[in-house]
A and B are shown apart, each in its own frame.
Chain A
Amino acid sequence: MSQEKKSADSIHICINGERERLDIEPGETLMASLRRAGHYSVKNGCDEGVCGACNVILGEEGLTRSCLVPAASCDGDDVMTVEGLLDDDGRLHPLQEEFLERGAAQCGYCIPGVLLSAYDLLQRDTVPTEEAIADALSGNICRCTGYVQQIEAIQAAAERLPDAEPAAEGEH
Chain B
Amino acid sequence: MSLSELTEQSTASGETNETDETSAAVGESVEKVDGWGLVTGNARYTDDIPTEDALEGRPLRSPHAHARIRSVDTEAAEAIDSVEAVLTHEDVPDKRFTRTGFPYPAPAPFDEHVLNETVRHVGEPVAAVAARSADAAERAIEAIDVDYEVLEHVLEPEEAMEPDAPTLHPEEYENPQENAVPERNIVCETRHEEGDVEAGFEQADAVVAGEYESQIVQHLPMEPNTTIAWIDDRERLVLRTTTQVSHICRDKIARAFGLNRTDVKVIKPRVGGGFGVRQDTVPNQFISAALALETGRKVRLKNSRKEDLHVSQTRHAQTVEVETGVREDGTITAMHVDITSNTGAYGCHASAVLSNAAHEPMSIYPTENRLFTGRAVYTNLTPGGAMRGYGAVQGTFGLESHIDEVADAIGMDPAEFRRRNVIEEGEESFEPAHSESKPVLESVGVTECLDRACTTVGWADGPDQPDDDRYQRGYGIALTMAKSGVPNSEYSRCSITLEDDGTLTVRIGVGDTGQGSETVMGQIAASVFGLDIESVHVKADDTDATPWDNGAYASSTTYISGNATEKAARDLAGKVRELAAEWHDTAPESVELADGDVSFPDGTSMTLGAFAAEAFEGVRGPKRRLIGTGEHFTALSPKPFAAQLAEVEVDTETGEFEVLRLVNAVDCGQALNPANVRGQIVGGAVMGLGQTLSETLPFDEDGQPDIRGLRDYEVMHAPDLPEIETEIVETYEPTGPYGAKSVGEVSILGPSPAVANAVDDAVGVRISELPITAASIWDGLQEGS
Partners in one complex: yes
What per-residue 1/0 map shows which CB atoms of B211-251 lie under 8 Å from chain A?
00000000111111000000000000000000000000000
Chain B residues with CB under 8 Å of A110's CB are 222
Q: Which of A69-77, A141-149, A163-171 contacts B (4 or more CB under 8 A)?
A: A141-149
B588 within 8 A of A: no
Q: Is the Cβ of A103 less than 8 Å from the Cβ of B679?
A: yes
Q: Is the Cβ of B222 less than 8 Å from the Cβ of A51?
A: yes
A148 and B272 contact, Cβ closer than 8 Å, known pairs A46-B710, A102-B675, A143-B220: no
Q: Which of A106, A137, A148 contacts B515 (CB 8 A)?
A: A106
Chain B residues with CB under 8 Å of A40's CB are 41, 44-45, 48
Q: Which of B32, B43, B274, B683 contacts A145 (CB 8 A)?
A: B683
B753 within 8 A of A: no
Please report the C-alpha to C-alpha distance between residue A107 and residue B32 in the assembled complex, in whole angstroms.
11
Q: Is the Cβ of B305 less than 8 Å from the Cβ of A106?
A: no
B50 within 8 A of A: yes
Q: Which of B123-131, B259-267, B402-410, B711-719 contacts A (4 or more CB under 8 A)?
A: B711-719
Q: Is the Cβ of A100 less than 8 Å from the Cβ of B32?
A: yes
Chain B residues with CB under 8 Å of A138's CB are 717-719
A45 and B305 contact, Cβ closer than 8 Å, known pairs A134-B721, A137-B717: yes
What per-residue 1/0 map shows which CB atoms of A97-136 lie under 8 Å from chain B?
0011111111111111001000000000000000101110
Please report the C-alpha to C-alpha distance between residue A49 and residue B708 in the assembled complex, in whole angstroms.
13
Q: Is the Cβ of B721 less than 8 Å from the Cβ of A146?
A: yes
Q: Which of B41, B223, B715, B724 contacts A148 (CB 8 A)?
A: B724
Chain A residues with CB under 8 Å of B687's CB are 143, 146
Chain B residues with CB under 8 Å of A53's CB are 222
A46 and B718 contact, Cβ closer than 8 Å, known pairs A103-B678, A149-B678: no
B514 within 8 A of A: yes
- Chain A stretch 138-165: residues in CB contact (< 8 A) with chain B: 138, 140-151
B39 within 8 A of A: yes
Chain A residues with CB under 8 Å of B676's CB are 103
Q: Is the Cβ of B270 less than 8 Å from the Cβ of A107?
A: yes
Please report the C-alpha to C-alpha distance between residue A53 and residue B273 in the assembled complex, in whole angstroms.
13
Chain A residues with CB under 8 Å of B716's CB are 146-147
Q: Which of A6-14, A57-65, A78-86 contacts B (4 or more CB under 8 A)?
A: A78-86
Please report the C-alpha to C-alpha distance between residue A15 and residue B709 in the assembled complex, in whole angstroms.
30
A17 within 8 A of B: no
Please report the C-alpha to C-alpha distance between residue A144 and residue B388 in the assembled complex, in whole angstroms.
12
A100 and B35 contact, Cβ closer than 8 Å, known pairs A50-B710, A51-B710: yes
A107 and B718 contact, Cβ closer than 8 Å, known pairs A144-B679, A146-B685: no
Q: Is the Cβ of B514 less than 8 Å from the Cβ of A106?
A: yes
Please report the C-alpha to C-alpha distance between residue A142 and residue B38 in the assembled complex, in whole angstroms.
13
B29 within 8 A of A: yes
- Chain B stretch 619-661: residues in CB contact (< 8 A) with chain A: none
Q: Which of A89, A90, A112 contacts B41 (CB 8 A)?
A: A112
Q: Is the Cβ of A109 less than 8 Å from the Cβ of B516?
A: no
Q: Is the Cβ of A46 less than 8 Å from the Cβ of B682?
A: no
Q: Which of A51, A103, A133, A150 contacts B675 (CB 8 A)?
A: A103
Minimum Cβ distance to chain B for residue A27 (Å): 10
Q: Is the Cβ of A38 less than 8 Å from the Cβ of B40?
A: no
Q: Is the Cβ of A107 less than 8 Å from the Cβ of B514?
A: yes
Residue of B nearest to A36 (CB): B52
Residue of A nearest to B689 (CB): A146
Q: Is the Cβ of A143 less than 8 Å from the Cβ of B221?
A: yes
Please report the C-alpha to C-alpha distance between residue A84 and residue B684 in the assembled complex, in whole angstroms.
32
Please report the C-alpha to C-alpha distance between residue A42 and residue B726 in the assembled complex, in whole angstroms.
32
Chain A residues with CB under 8 Å of B273's CB are 106-107, 109, 143-144
Residue of A nearest to B708 (CB): A48
Q: Which of B41, B45, B220, B718 contacts A140 (CB 8 A)?
A: B718
Q: Is the Cβ of B50 less than 8 Å from the Cβ of A38?
A: yes
Q: Is the Cβ of B721 less than 8 Å from the Cβ of A148?
A: yes
A86, A105, A143, A148 — most chain B CB neighbours (10 Å): A143
B190 within 8 A of A: no
Chain A residues with CB under 8 Å of B553's CB are none
Please report the C-alpha to C-alpha distance between residue A95 and residue B678 in the assembled complex, in whole angstroms.
19
Minimum Cβ distance to chain B for residue A116 (Å): 10
Please report the C-alpha to C-alpha distance between residue A148 and residue B664 in the assembled complex, in whole angstroms.
13
Chain B residues with CB under 8 Å of A150's CB are 718
Q: Is the Cβ of A107 less than 8 Å from the Cβ of B710?
A: no
Residue pairs across A and B with Cβ atoms less than 8 A apart, 13 shown, are A40-B45, A43-B45, A48-B305, A83-B41, A103-B675, A107-B223, A109-B221, A109-B273, A111-B38, A137-B717, A144-B679, A148-B724, A151-B718
Give 10 nearest A-B pairs by CB, closest first.
A41-B41, A107-B514, A109-B272, A108-B38, A146-B686, A103-B675, A106-B514, A40-B48, A137-B718, A146-B682
